[in-house]
């Protein structure tokens, strides 16, 4: 059957990443292909995990896990650089601050200056599942402020970026739970295809500022006790939580070629569907996952056996991973029967489940793999025998290695992203056209400077900040009923 839809052909021209122990795309790639999981005990600058920790999973209002792939130094923020008053910065949700910084970094990575893009038809679409900072401010009796509303609305996380950059295209946030950031990518691609904008920032973020998520996830019995995602492993016992921000810059491929942009990869196709009625809202639907993959390949005329890497949603929950792998196997075998031709990975095996940022993290893992022409390593020790991997089109790649595509074919990857809400997203990406591939060690590199800002103190009764005056410090309410200043 001939394809019913043309390929999207959307270029990824900029990447910014900040996740546990990774501050940019290159350090993220090194971390993904390292030897360890980044889960560690949640530090006191987030909240007092000891106050709610109890290894007994049935203990009321307690969390049986105290580990996560959390960020450090989330209080640091150069307020003056973004034209924000210090006292306003203290009230603004740290997710807004981090997104501002990483959107700026993504634009720098794409070689786009503020002067060049101001007033243009640029856009921002972000996937964000939750925000807790306002609750934290109220818990600690922080007085309402003129920035309390705009500083803590989820919509204003994208809106503040659009305001600062003076953008005239679509700017909004979306929440489909765990698939939020890939839903954002899906919508961003459509905005470009429908000519509602000329370029767009999209991605997602997640911060865990209170104990709520740990306790709620424990009551749902979905957490791994040690915070480690053992994806597709026989010893898988639940997911681990992570924090981070991931942003990509997208352009139509034709425009990126005219601009002679560096292209990390190209989005060929992306589609969404819903699980519909299942045994429960959070229960995954194998048929829905399978139908989404099959219909995407058929609509765009992409044969599954042209893919040689697959970035799975892969949370490390035994039921969820089994359903995902079974759906992948059946959908691929229906259209392209074969065995062990496609490597499987999941970045959650290194960085945990980053909620609203999990999908974009998977996209970046696949895209960086295309860019480096290497297959990323999946951290796995004992493959779950129930998966029957040897009889499937897939295999697990346990170490970083060169990526050799089928003869005369480009490197291609599929990406799964599923939401607790029932929203599923499936995306196919391809390496940059051979005409624009370049040695990443050649060419010119920017040396970036940020102007020195003056330091400011915390909220009332706090001592003045005396740290690095090159970086304006924001604030996060601490676990000891105070405002902690970075």
Catalytic residue among 202, 353, 354, 371: 353
Q: Check whether 56 has a pLDDT greater than 60.
A: yes
pTM above 0.85, yes or no: yes
State the pLDDT at residue 109.
97
Over the chain, what is the mean pLDDT?
A: 89
Instruction: Give the lowest-confidence range in 18-22, 97-101, 172-176.
Output: 18-22
CA distance 23 to 376: 19
Angle between helices 25-32 and 358-372 (to 10 degrees): 90
Q: Check whether 472 has a pLDDT greater than 50.
A: no
Q: How confident is the model at residue 479 (pLDDT cuts 50, 70, 90)?
A: very low
Q: Check whether 477 has a pLDDT greater than 50.
A: no
Average pLDDT over residues 191-206: 98
* Residue 200: Cβ-neighbour burial (10 angstroms; 0-12, 13-18, 19+): buried
Q: Check whether 110 has a pLDDT greater than 90.
A: yes
- Cα angle value 400/402/407 (rounded, 5°): 145
State the pLDDT at residue 435.
78
C-beta neighbour count of 21 within 10 angstroms: 18
Residue 353 among the catalytic residues: yes
Question: Is 470 contained in some domain?
Answer: no
Question: Is 92 contained in some domain?
Answer: yes
pLDDT in tens, 142-183: 999 999 999 999 999 999 999 999 999 999 999 999 999 999
Range of the domain at 328: 10-430
Question: Is 442 contained in some domain?
Answer: no
Residue 178 among the catalytic residues: yes
Q: Identify which of 197, 142, 221, 156 has the alpha carbon closest to the alpha carbon of residue 458.
A: 142
Catalytic residue among 313, 342, 354, 371: 313
Q: Identify which of 411, 440, 365, 374 has the alpha carbon closest to the alpha carbon of residue 32.
A: 365
Catalytic residue among 65, 103, 156, 178: 178
State the pLDDT at residue 447.
57
Average pLDDT over residues 419-441: 84
Q: How confident is the model at residue 437 (pLDDT cuts 50, 70, 90)?
A: low
Domain count along the chain? 1
State the pLDDT at residue 407.
87
Q: Identify which of 242, 169, 230 has the alpha carbon closest to the alpha carbon of residue 202.
A: 169
Question: Is 100 contained in some domain?
Answer: yes
Alpha-carbon distance values, 52 to 68, 315, 327 (Å): 14, 24, 37
State the pLDDT at residue 448.
55
CA distance 304 to 268: 13
State the pLDDT at residue 1.
55
Q: Check whether 463 has a pLDDT greater than 80.
A: no
Which are the contacts of 69, defined by CB distance < 8 A and separation ≥ 6? 19, 20, 37, 38, 39, 40, 227, 240, 241, 242, 243, 244, 350, 351, 352, 354
CA distance 236 to 233: 5
Question: Is 476 contained in some domain?
Answer: no
Q: How confident is the model at residue 379 (pLDDT cuts 50, 70, 90)?
A: confident
Question: Is 438 contained in some domain?
Answer: no
State the pLDDT at residue 34.
80
Q: Check whether 445 has a pLDDT greater than 60.
A: no
Question: Is 482 contained in some domain?
Answer: no
Question: Is 437 contained in some domain?
Answer: no
CA distance 177 to 272: 14
State the pLDDT at residue 424.
97
Q: How confident is the model at residue 3 (pLDDT cuts 50, 70, 90)?
A: confident
Contact 167, 120 (CB under 8 A): yes
pLDDT in tens, 260-309: 999 999 999 999 999 999 888 888 999 999 999 999 999 999 999 999 99
CATH of the domain at 418: 3.40.47.10
């Amino acid at each position: 059957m001939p394809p019913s839809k043309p390929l999207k052909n959307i270029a990824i021209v900029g990447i910014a990443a900040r996740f546990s122990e990774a501050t940019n795309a290159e350090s993220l790639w090194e971390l993904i292909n390292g030897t360890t999981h980044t889960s560690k005990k949640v530090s006191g600058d987030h909240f007092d995990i000891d106050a709610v920790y109890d290894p007994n999973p049935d203990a009321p209002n307690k969390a049986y896990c105290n580990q996560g792939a959390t960020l450090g130094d989330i209080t640091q923020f150069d307020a003056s650089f973004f034209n924000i008053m210090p006292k306003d910065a203290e009230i603004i949700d740290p997710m807004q601050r981090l997104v501002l910084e990483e959107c700026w970094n993504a634009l720098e990575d794409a070689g786009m200056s503020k002067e060049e893009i101001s007033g243009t038809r640029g856009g921002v679409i972000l996937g964000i599942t939750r925000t807790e900072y306002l609750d934290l401010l109220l818990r600690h009796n922080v007085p309402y402020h003129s920035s309390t509303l705009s500083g803590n609305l989820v919509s204003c996380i994208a809106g503040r970026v659009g305001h600062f950059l003076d953008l005239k295209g679509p700017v909004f946030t979306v929440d489909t739970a765990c698939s939020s950031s890939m839903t954002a990518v899906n919508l961003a691609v459509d905005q470009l295809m429908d000519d509602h904008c000329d370029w767009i920032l999209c991605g997602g973020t997640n911060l865990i500022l209170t104990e709520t998520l740990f306790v709620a996830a424990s009551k749902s019995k979905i957490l791994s006790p040690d915070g480690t995602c053992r994806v597709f492993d026989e010893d898988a016992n639940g997911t681990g939580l992570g924090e981070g921000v991931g942003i990509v810059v997208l352009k139509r491929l034709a425009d990126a070629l005219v601009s002679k942009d560096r292209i990390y990869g190209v989005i060929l196709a992306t589609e969404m569907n819903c699980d519909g009625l299942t045994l429960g809202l959070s229960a995954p639907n194998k048929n829905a996952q399978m139908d989404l993959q099959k219909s995407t390949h058929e609509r765009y005329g992409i044969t599954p056996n042209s893919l040689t890497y697959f970035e799975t949603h892969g949370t490390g929950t035994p039921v969820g991973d089994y359903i995902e792998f079974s759906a992948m196997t059946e959908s691929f075998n229906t259209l392209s029967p074969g065995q062990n031709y496609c490597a499987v990975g999941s970045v959650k095996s290194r960085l945990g489940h980053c909620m609203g940022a999990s999908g974009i993290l998977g996209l970046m893992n696949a895209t960086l793999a295309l860019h480096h022409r290497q297959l990323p390593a999946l951290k796995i020790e004992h493959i779950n025998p129930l998966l029957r991997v040897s009889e499937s089109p897939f295999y697990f790649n346990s170490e970083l290695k060169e990526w050799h595509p089928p003869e005369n074919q480009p490197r291609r990857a599929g990406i799964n992203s599923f939401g607790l809400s029932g929203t599923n997203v499936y995306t196919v990406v391809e390496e940059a056209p051979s005409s624009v591939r370049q040695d990443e060690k050649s060419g010119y590199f920017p040396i970036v400077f940020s102007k020195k800002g003056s330091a400011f103190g915390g909220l009332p009764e706090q001592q003045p900040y005396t740290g690095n005056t090159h970086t304006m410090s924001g604030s996060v309410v601490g676990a000891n009923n105070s405002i902690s200043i970075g």
